[in-house]
Chains A and B, each alone.
Chain A
Amino acid sequence: MGDGRSVRVTRREFLREGVAALSGMALAGLGVDALRSTAHAQELTYPVERGASLRVLRWSQFVSTDRPIFEENARRFTQRTGVPVRVEYETWTDVQPKAAAAANVGSGPDIVIGFFDEPHLWADKLVPVTDLAEYLGRKYGGWFEVCPQYGYSPPRRAWIAVPIGAPGAAINYRMSWVREAGFDPDPAKFPKTTDEFLRLCRALRARGHPTGFALGKAVGDGNVWTHWCLWAFGGRAVAPDNKTITINSPETANALEYARALYETMIPGVAGWLDPHNNRAFLAGEISLTNNGISIYFAAKNDFPEIAADMNHAFFPVGPVGRPTELHLFSQAYIFNYTRYPNAAKEFLRWIMEETQYSRWINGMLGYVSHPLRAYNNLAVWRSDPKALPFRDAVARMLPHSYAGRPGPEAARALAEFVIVDMFADACTGRRSVRDAIRAAEDRLRRIYRS
């Protein structure tokens, strides 16, 4: 990279950006410590290679404001560095197959913004980004606890991905129906325990307003709520050694019994639901409560204002384990080592994660993506609409899907094969007894982790 064209900032540029950053921080209400760390960390920049250009593969937008802002950020990056950036989009579940092909043939996008374990599936094909991750962590108040579990690779002893954030989920509910059921619809007073939550769902059902949680092959919604439920009761698929299968436990049985009770409050048909089904059912007024990202609210604001006015969001309740046990989709960016422009790629990731660009993007998406860096707790979006607030803490409250093991090929496979979702579906629909559903899941997990 010695022959690279440096984009190291000049003193004048540094001052200008520093002033801008200070203004932004001030607007965002950040403290003095954060500002001090900003000035300290501002010096990191990567000398971009001569003639560099970048291909970025990322997930298609979930909300309509995402893409224009992301591309505007990319365009500004090009203006600043002279590096053209081509952004390619795939449906979020199709990013991994594309990235897998790129990893296998050693050619394709320079940067991929994907989900979950992806970087750990081809960890040795990636450019380490430890310096960038540490820089961002220092500058923006540190990463939330789950971030290094996803971004850091123990075998490589390096960060291999930069956490981008989580399209977080929350309990979406109709306030009028919750009130009708005898509960306070204020998110601050929404049921905080699983027992209280079940009482609410039963009361809703009794008044003709069923709930709806996906139990089909719903990659996002199905995995999110079933993992939450499993962990809320202390169940877990695998031990921290990433080998011992621990799904067959009284805690898992309790989680399934709870889910069966919850299932009785659901609308018929959830066993076949994929990701879009609960959005449609909620917007059509068929269900009173579900788990989802902010996309339902976003769609309601555009097309069903009366529903937007009557809906709200709340955290997933806490189970007997006594702490949040949420799972959210988790997105991170990684750089393939076949790229000819690793510095340009790192500089691009640094650029989009810096406060000016990142806040513009997240604010514009109405909070669809929850931030991974603590300083971004103060983004304007989290103050502009109280209904978006529960999504703010998605990353702070989440566990990795591999819990209590590590992200990696086995956890990726267990998730891809819907082992936990199927276990819940089997037990809830009565296809299998709780005991048999657990045994079937145990058998599948054993095979996956043994292979």
Chain B
Amino acid sequence: MLAEHRDVLGWVMVGPALLILGGFLAYPFVLGIWLSLTDTRIASPGRFVGLENFRYVLGDSVFRLTVLNTLLYAGVAVVLKFVLGLGLALLVNREFRGKRFVRAAMLLPWIVPTSLSALVFYWIYDSQFSVLTWALRTVGLVSGYVNYLGDPILARAALIAANVWRGVPFFAIGLLAGLQTIPRELYEAAEMDGAGAWARFRWITWPLLVPLAVVVVVFSTIMTVGDFQLIWIVTKGGPANATHLFGTLAYQRAIQGGFLGEGAAVAVFTLPVLLVCVAFAYRALRRED
């Protein structure tokens, strides 16, 4: 019966997927946008206030610092993850004994639950009991304590390092998959033409890797901008808000402070960043086509 009505059958087939997307993606998204346009507090419905929340947070020094923190955190971390991930992918793309084991082990930082690795970094950066400080003291590089999380610059650097450690495998595995799709014949032909290692990378590897690299970078940027667990466990946005990201500030304002509308507005500010990423990826991929 349904088979005779292909249009109906089509809707029936995609219906569950649409419901899931609508319920778990579209509804929270639209609700978040709506909340950001209201003065809703916890347990009170609130009323429409237009762009008031956005005007308010734009005038807030903590929010402006958060924008700076987020751009710095995501920008530096993604670049470092890309460079290190690409290097690692090129290394493990070679033939060597134990290749499978190394590739599997490489994934460990990525598959360990973030909260667990964040707790480890919480200890590594402890102001008094840091294993890192102990090692530096042992080799004579420092004499006292290192204030990893008490100094704004050091705290930012420490969190970026933790994020890079966790995110490099994502780049490495993603780019490795891309490297393995490049036909060997291209390299062989280039070698016969006298191309060196750099030339082969510049003119064969890189152009063929770009489409995948763009996707990996965009995905990672989105995840890094939206980071929460690492920051919340290690610094809670401190010292003096120097490590707040959009997610942690939104949580603090909306849930702990009770101002859902304002918290939603802070979260909505991630949208432009993400839209730029998506537009960039779209343009890059179209150019490749």
Contact = CB atoms under 8 A, between A and B. Distances in A.
Contacts of A280: 126, 128-129
Contacts of A103: 42-43
B52 to A, nearest CB: 9
Contacts of B125: 272
Interface in A231-286: 267-274, 277, 280-281, 284, 286
Interface stretch (B198-206, B235-243, B279-287): B235-243
A416 B149 CA distance: 20
B152 interface: yes
Contacts of B152: 431
Interface stretch (A291-299, A310-318, A421-429): A421-429
B240 A422 contact: yes
A329 to B, nearest CB: 15
Given A268-B144, A417-B62, A444-B62, A429 B43 contact: no
Interface centre among B43, B152, B235 (most CB of A within 10 A): B43
B136 to A, nearest CB: 14
A106 to B, nearest CB: 9
A277 B255 contact: no
A440 interface: yes
A284 B42 contact: no
Interface string B216-239: 000000000000000000011111
Contacts of A416: 252-253, 256-258
Contacts of A451: 56, 259, 262
B150 A272 contact: yes
Interface centre among A104, A269, A418 (most CB of B within 10 A): A269
B103 interface: no
A96 interface: yes
Contact of B128 (A121, A274, A281): A281
A268 B150 CA distance: 9
A338 to B, nearest CB: 11
Interface string A169-202: 0000000000000000000000000000000000
Contacts of B237: 217
Contacts of B56: 447, 451
A216 B147 contact: no
Interface residues of A, number: 42
B43 A217 contact: no
B61 A217 contact: no
Interface centre among B44, B60, B125 (most CB of A within 10 A): B44
B42 to A, nearest CB: 4
B170 interface: no
B92 to A, nearest CB: 36
Contacts of B128: 267, 269, 277, 280-281, 284, 286
B256 A96 contact: yes
A88 interface: no
A409 to B, nearest CB: 5
Nearest to A96: B256
Interface string B260-289: 001000000000000000000000000000
Nearest to A424: B240
A215 interface: yes
Contacts of B238: 216-217, 271-272, 274, 418, 425
Given A268-B144, A269-B150, A100 B239 contact: no
A122 interface: yes
A104 B35 CA distance: 13
B150 A409 contact: no
Contacts of A431: 152, 240
A440 B239 contact: no
B62 A426 contact: no
A121 B42 contact: yes
Interface in A84-115: 93, 96-97, 100, 103-104
Contacts of A387: none
B255 A97 contact: yes
B27 interface: no
Contacts of A93: 256
A274 B144 contact: no
Nearest to B45: A104
A274 B127 CA distance: 11
Given A217-B235, A268-B145, A284-B129, A122 B42 contact: yes
Contact of A413 (B62, B240, B257): B257
Interface in B205-221: none
A72 interface: no
A443 interface: yes
B151 interface: yes
B209 to A, nearest CB: 40
A174 to B, nearest CB: 16
A308 interface: no
A320 B78 CA distance: 52
A104 B42 contact: yes
A97 B147 CA distance: 31
Contacts of B148: 269, 272
A409 B235 CA distance: 24
Interface in B98-131: 125-129
B170 to A, nearest CB: 28
A269 B145 contact: yes
A100 B257 contact: no
A40 to B, nearest CB: 37
A352 interface: no
Interface string A148-160: 0000000000000
A286 B253 CA distance: 35
A252 B149 CA distance: 26
A5 interface: no
A125 interface: yes
A247 to B, nearest CB: 15
B149 to A, nearest CB: 3
Interface in A299-327: none
Contact of A104 (B43, B145, B235, B262): B43
A97 B127 contact: no
A393 B97 CA distance: 69
A416 B263 CA distance: 13
Given A413-B258, A417-B257, 17 more contacts: A97-B256, A100-B255, A103-B43, A268-B150, A269-B128, A270-B150, A272-B127, A272-B238, A272-B239, A413-B253, A416-B253, A416-B258, A417-B62, A422-B241, A444-B61, A444-B62, A447-B56
4 A-B pairs closest in CB distance: A269-B127, A272-B149, A271-B150, A122-B43
6 contacts: A97-B256, A217-B239, A272-B235, A417-B62, A417-B257, A443-B61
Interface of B: 41-44, 56, 59-62, 125-129, 144-145, 147-152, 155, 235-241, 252-253, 255-259, 262
